[in-house]
Chain A
Amino acid sequence: MTTTERTDAPPAPIAHAGGRPLADAITITWRNLVNLRRNPMLLVFATIQPVIFVLMFRYVFGGQINIPGIPYVDYLMPGIFIQTVTFGSLQTGVGLADDLNKGLIERFRSLPMTRSAVLVGRTMADLTRNLFVVTVMCLIGFAVDFRIHTNALAFLAAFGLILLFSFSLSWVFATLGLVIGDAESTQAASFPILAPLAFASSAFVQVSTMPGWLQVFAQHQPVTAAVNAVRALCLGGPTATKVLQALAWCVGLVAVFAPIAIRRYRRI
């Protein structure tokens, strides 16, 4: 390229070339949150399903499930929190696939903006949505007699961990949505991944009640790690190792899937 000779100098670009990572990510987050506000039904549906889970497990199955030493609702709610954000993370992939389908991603990619901003903005908006959904779930939990056995600080840490976990899973489904590239297919493809993660875990029952082969999976997957940590923070008992394990999963998921998703976005 050193021999390049220009017949005349290119004009100064009118728009600012090159990215402004933070500003771009904030703009895209804003855009996704406006979308959420214009579709309040999405938020309503995002909360109805976990509310039904709370009521169902609390009042229908709860009587049959015995957890030694504590009321089932106290055992259940940390599981519900994590299960809720686990299923909710699918929305990140569905939203991205939808943008891809409608040609919005094509337009974003033709702009002089930071490329990762579309993904960061999407996951940040989903984090904000989860903040709302988890708050609602907490209120519902308290209404059905869920009690914290530790203290407010530990509960706040649990709350933060739930949000961090949701953010990490968002990157997994961002990758899936970009690879599949179609909202409905992304939704369909997500369920076989989400169902075993959410149910073959310690979210609703103790893993020790499962058959041995399933225990192997259930003990070594991210949802169990997150549920155990949140449960320890809410109910007490040995906590540090569980929280570290959950944090390791969060960091690991982002470290693996964020680069894959961003790489995939660049190459669409």
Chain B
Amino acid sequence: MRVSSAAISAEDLAKCFGDVVALDGVSLEVPRGSVLGLLGPNGAGKTTVVRILTTLLHPDRGRASVLGIGVAEDPARVRSMIGLAGQYAAVDENLTGRENLRLMGRLTHMEPRTIASRSDDLLGLFDLTEAANRPVRTYSGGMRRRIDLAAALVHQPPVLFLDEPTTGLDPRSRTDLWGVIEDLVRDGTTVLLTTQYLEEADRLADNMVIIDGGHVIAEGTAGALKARLGASIIEIGTHDPATATAVAGILDGMGRIELEGTTAALVVDDGSSVLMEVVRRLDAARVAPTTLALREPTLDDVFLTLTGHGAVAAAPDPPPTARRGGSGKAAP
């Protein structure tokens, strides 16, 4: 058996909660100092992957390691090297921001004299110095997320797990948080990030793994994933779905066509030359589109094509007990 040199490595992870199959053979590798975006709709199994890698949950099958240390073999070592922030890891609302950070410093067994200075540094970094002595329950949503992320960083973990770190944040707070994460990565931190925002993955992640229904359905860089889809998309907007269907018929044979409501989208390799042909055909058929656009594919298009639904769509959340793994076994 070989222990991976990657910062994070998972091999064939499987996990069931009762009858619900949360993961069915997920493998991934995150090289040191890089960012992996773990994408998937609600209920795809993203949080389950994070909980297994952070020693909170025992997989039914497969193995995982962080910095070469087996998550099942030596969970205490793994815990000393990771930081976890996001959806479910929280801070104490009745403690002040500063007290929360010091609590984390003490519980990660840092040198007592470094805890205070490290806490102050983080409060400054996250723009929370002014609010440092206020209980966290008085914080805004954005401040709460920042103190939550800061709490995960007190002991300077070389590997960071961020489970939907910006869900529910306004665009400004989100951009700010992205900046902080980019700084951490620049300093050598390895990050595994789950998100429903493809824009977030596009900006932060070096590599992406898309999971759906407990399986990996695609992986690669953002560019590679987009290239799989074709170089460009021509969108033809019409008055009604019937016309859009008619347009699909007119353009038959030119490339893959996707219908969505009153819009027909043609996925092609060379958009600009095909665009002229599209206009000629529509003109010949005497169909006047309301809009006509040529654009690059986005990760949303990739996602839609791969999963058959949008990133924030479809699959229901598993019940809270399953999320917390009420029926599961955790590492001792």
Contacts and interface: CB of A to CB of B under 8 A. Distances in A.
Interface stretch (A2-10, A70-78, A126-134, A219-227): A2-10
B88 A106 contact: yes
A106 B89 contact: yes
A239 B77 CA distance: 52
Interface in B80-128: 80-82, 84, 87-95, 99, 103-104, 106-110
B127 to A, nearest CB: 22
A4 B70 CA distance: 11
7 contacts: A5-B3, A15-B110, A20-B109, A38-B95, A111-B79, A112-B109, A113-B107
Interface string A29-48: 00100110011000000000
Contacts of B81: 11, 13-15
B194 interface: no
Contacts of B80: 13-17, 112
A104 to B, nearest CB: 5
B326 A268 contact: yes
A181 B324 contact: yes
A13 B77 contact: yes
Given A7-B5, A14-B158, A266-B330, A27 B103 contact: yes
Contacts of A104: 90-92
Interface of B: 1-5, 54-56, 67-69, 73-74, 76-77, 79-82, 84, 87-95, 99, 103-104, 106-110, 135, 151, 155-158, 321, 324-326, 328-330, 332
Given A6-B68, A17-B77, 12 more contacts: A10-B69, A13-B80, A14-B81, A14-B156, A16-B108, A17-B76, A27-B107, A103-B87, A104-B92, A107-B89, A111-B104, A112-B79
Contact of A112 (B76, B329, B332): B76
Contact of B55 (A13, A19, A39, A110): A110
Contacts of B84: 106-107, 110
B107 A24 contact: yes
Nearest to A115: B332
B56 A110 contact: yes
A125 B221 CA distance: 50
Given A15-B155, A18-B76, A109 B92 contact: no
Interface centre among B88, B156, B329 (most CB of A within 10 A): B88
B60 to A, nearest CB: 14
A31 B92 contact: yes
Given A6-B68, A110-B84, A268 B324 contact: yes
Contact of A109 (B69, B329, B330): B330
A117 B3 CA distance: 32
Contacts of B56: 106, 109-110
A181 B103 CA distance: 23
B90 A11 contact: no
Contacts of B68: 6-10
Contacts of B99: 34
A18 B108 CA distance: 9
B90 A107 contact: yes
Given A110-B56, A110-B84, A38 B94 contact: yes
B214 to A, nearest CB: 21
A7 B3 contact: yes
A6 B90 contact: no
B1 A111 contact: no
Nearest to A102: B90
A39 B137 CA distance: 12
B3 A4 contact: yes
Nearest to A18: B76
A8 B5 contact: yes
Contact of B109 (A6, A8, A16, A39): A16
A15 B90 contact: no
Nearest to A31: B103
A36 B259 CA distance: 59
Contacts of B108: 15-16, 111-113
Nearest to B77: A17
Contacts of A13: 77, 80-81
A193 interface: no
A153 to B, nearest CB: 39
Contacts of B76: 17-19, 112
Given A6-B68, A7-B5, A266-B330, A103 B79 contact: no
A1 B73 contact: yes
Contacts of A10: 67-69, 77
A99 to B, nearest CB: 8
Given A14-B155, A14-B157, A106-B324, A39 B94 contact: yes
Interface centre among A5, A39, A102, A109 (most CB of B within 10 A): A109
